[in-house]
Structure 1
Amino acid sequence: MSDELQELIATLEEHERRLTFDRFDHPDAWALGRLLVETATGRELPVAVDIRRGRQQMFHAALPGSVADNDEWIRRKVRVVERYGASSYLVGRRLAAQGRVLDAGMGVDPARYAAHGGAFPVRVPQVGVVGVVTVSGLPQADDHALVVEAIERFLAIQAA
């Protein structure tokens, strides 16, 4: 494994340790979703945004330039978080470090799962992963970075 990939994995793991929620309800999903949409709109990013708690879709927006296929990517990335309990980017980078890919050899259908950046777990301490925040439409590192940025801002607002 390259030093660069090892450093990236460490950074992604740090994101997941640090970015946890005290709670996550409908108003939280709405506020976080609006924050993501405002950020993406301000930058004219062609993304779709999706927030779920359990199996319930609590927020969804398709911004100008996004396409229907972004929704399918969202579903595939969400399944990775739900199955592995980690961000879709972290799962993909860990696999890459091992020279592996997410496929039938791992017991999953790659048409239904995508270990590409953009889906991040909503984790509540002492509870676990309760939901997923996802962005699709940019290169995977940028999808991930946008979600992390929005969660950081949301949690800072909550703490203030």
Structure 2
Amino acid sequence: MTHDDSGKLGTLAAQEDELRFADFTHDDAIAVGLRVIELARGRSQTISTSVWLGEQLVFQASLAGTTADNDSWMNRKAATVRRFDKASLLVAEQMASYGIDDPATARMVDPMAYAFNGGAFPIRVGSRQVGVAVASGVNDDVEHDLVVEALRAHLAATTREGAVA
């Protein structure tokens, strides 16, 4: 994939438009985190995952083979989502499309506080960001897709439950 791939930028932006919840609680955060773990185990992927509501870490789990470095990556990716109000992969791709391959070198951010890599996705209630779901341990695109798949499945499940109630 090239960084000028407007198709990928469009897909990432569309995912953010699609994945909006009517409500998102602590129970939802735990369910999403467990779903990420379930998906990763089913694919034999070694990952860590965390789900935040605001500044509160509601769920975190790490599969065998991960390290404390994954925790650091997750914190930095979550900070990127909070600061830029976009998925970390979307921010990375947008920066690259502007010719900025290393935002830290461009003196935009502290590299110890932010990471421009895939795997962190905003949790939205309507248009408001209320949290972040993160995965770390494989490559950027796989981490991003894993989180999106978990959020999409949870959104579908909660939408069905709401329709039945």
TM superposition score normalised by structure 2: 0.91
Alignment gaps of 5+ in structure 1: none
1:117 corresponding residue in structure 2 = 118
Q: Deviations over 1:10-54 (max 9, x none)?
A: 000000000111111111111111111111112121100100001
Is the partner of 1:121 in helix, strand or coil?
Answer: strand
Say how many residue pairs are matched: 158
Counterpart CA distance in 1 for 2:81 and 2:145 is 16
* Equivalent residue, structure 2, for 1:11: 11
* Aligned match of 1:107: 108
Structure 1 vs Structure 2 CA RMSD = 1.4
Alignment of 1:1-160 (within 5 A): 5-100=5-100, 101-103=102-104, 105-126=106-127, 128-160=128-160
Deviations 1:76-96 (A, max 9, x none): 101100100000000000000
Superposition TM-score, scaled by structure 1 size: 0.94
- In the alignment, structure 2 segments of 5+ residues that lack a partner are 161-165
The CA distance in 2 between the partners of 1:57 and 1:104, in whole Å, is: 29
CA shift in 2, pair 1:63/1:155, >3 Å: same
Identity of aligned residues (%): 38
State the 1:110 CA deviation. 1.3
Q: SS of the residue aligned with 2:20? A: coil
